[in-house]
Structure 1
Amino acid sequence: MARVDPERIRNVALLGHSHDGKTSLAEAMLYAGGAVDRLGRPDAGNTTFDFEPEEIKRKISIGTAIAHVTWHDHKINLLDTPGFQDFAGDVYGALRAAESALLVVGASTGVVVGTELAWQQLRSRDLPTLVVVNKMDKENADYWRVVDAFKEFSPRPVSIQSPIGHEAGFKGVIDLLSRKAY
C-alpha cells in the first residue's frame, strides 16, 4: 500500500437513527470510489461494514466499522456507526476520531429521536456536518419536510442537491452547485 500524505487523509463519521441507511450509504461510497467491486446490502448480509455474525443476523450495525476509499487523491476513512442507542458508546468513540460527519436521515421517517441525539453529539464536538436525506424512493418520502425540520436546529439549512421526484417516481438528484442532474 502506498504511503499517504497525512494532509490528504479525512476521517468521516456516518451517524443517524437506526435503519436510515448509514451502512448502505457507506457501501455506495466504497463502490463508487472503486474500493470494492460489488455494492453490499445490509438486508443481503454482504456488506463490508457489518461483518460480525450478530450484525448479519440482525441486519444492523452493532459496532463502529471502518473502511477507506480513495477519492480525488484523498484517503477517506469512513466510520460507520450504529444507529441504535444501545450502542451509543461506539458513536462517541468514532466522533473522537472524526473530523467531519454525515448525518443520515430517512426521507420518510424524517427527524426522529436518534437524529436529534446524533445532531446534539455533532454540535457538542463542533464537527462540520452534511445532512444526507436518504431513501427518497420509499413510501412517504418527503425531502422538504426533512429540510424544514432542520430549521429547528439550524436557522438556515442549505440544500446542495435537490431530488428529482420522490417515492416510486424518484429519478435522481440535481446538484445545485454544478447544475447537473444525476
Structure 2
Amino acid sequence: MDGLTAVLEDRTPGRPVKLTEVRTRIPRHASSYRVAEVLTDLELLEDDSALAIRSWIDDRTAELPSGFAADVRACLLVLLDGDSRAKPRSHTCLYVYFGCVRPLLEKWATTRGHLREITVADVTAAPSPLRGWQRRNAIASLRSLFRFAKKRGLIFANPTTRLKTEEIQRNLLPMTDVEILAAPGSPSVASPGRRLPTGTC
C-alpha cells in the first residue's frame, strides 16, 4: 500500500504509471515487483524501461572519447536487442559491461584513437590490477566488445582471442567451536534465522 500510495497519490485518476517511476519513487521497504504487478492488473502500468535503457546508452556513450563512442553504442544496442546469433542481455548485464569497459577506453584514448588500434598487449595488461569478479567481468566485457567489433568489420583482428577468464574460487571458512557454541546461546537472538553468524552465507 505504501508503494501504491507513493505513485498514485498525486496522479489524475486513470493516468498510467511508468515502470521507471515505480522503481524510483516507491519507499525502500516496498516491493517494486508487487507494485508493478498490481498496477498491471489495474491496467495502469506503462512499461517505459526499454526507452529508459536506450536513453541511458545514448547518454553514457556520448561521454566516451569520440573515436570509441559510436562503436560502443552499437555494441550495447546489440546486447540489448539481440541479433541472429545472440539473445538479448539483461539491463543489469549492460550496466556491468559498460562500467567495466569505460575506464579502460578512457585510458586507451590517451594514446589510441579507435578500437582497431588496441593491441593484444593492451587488453592483456588492462585487467591485470583487478582480482576476483572485477577481473572476470572486465575480461568478459572486453571479449564481448571486440567480438562484436570483429564481426561488424570495425577491427582487423580480435585482440582478446587468447584472453581467458579464471574460475572464481569460493572458499568457505569453517566456523570455530566457539562460534558454533556462541550462536544459539546468545540471549539477544530471538529467531533461528538470526542465530546464524554474520558472514556465513
Q: TM-score, normalised by structure 2?
A: 0.28
More strand by share: 1
Q: Which has the larger radius of gyration?
A: 2
More helix by share: 2
Higher relative contact order (CA 8 A, sep 6+): 1
Q: TM-score, normalised by structure 1?
A: 0.30
